[in-house]
Amino acid sequence: MVQDLQNTRRQIFDELTKIVDPEIGVSIMELELVDNVDIDSGTVSIDLHLTSPFCPAVFGFKIAQDVRDNVYKIPEVSSVKVNVSNHFMSEAINKQVNESTPPQKP
């Protein structure tokens, strides 16, 4: 059980490392934008912030959507909730990303 959780956590961080801030071309993990990752029985909650409170909203939406979609593709993950904070459009980004239809599992 612990091994499974560690494996899932590793896969999540691998997927998060692939996500690049479209404005500056650097991984969100390298930029240290991910604040917290919580895994509970296949449900993953990810807290993150953007590079600035006034980062262009289109980039904020793209990053948050990529986080949700990439992590959701992991077989052991049944749902993903993204929480963007400290941004002027946080509420709208969270609502749109978390209410959108997730991608199909591979």
- pLDDT tens per residue across span 31-62: 999 999 999 989 999 999 999 999 999 999 99
> Which domains occur in the chain, in start order?
2-97 (3.30.300.130)
Name the pTM for this structure.
Answer: 0.94
Tally of CA atoms within 13 A in the half-sphere of 37 that contains its CB: 21
- pLDDT tens per residue across span 55-84: 999 999 999 999 999 999 999 999 999 999
**CA terminus-to-terminus distance, the chain:** 24
Q: Which residues contact 52 (CB under 8 A, 6 or more apart)?
A: none
What stretch of H or E contains 98?
A: helix 90-99
Q: Which of 53, 61, 45 is nearest to 94 (CA)?
A: 61
- pLDDT category of residue 27 using cuts at 50, 70 and 90: very high
Whether the Cβ atoms of residue 26 and residue 33 lie closer than 8 Å to each other: no
Tally of CA atoms within 13 A in the half-sphere of 8 that contains its CB: 21
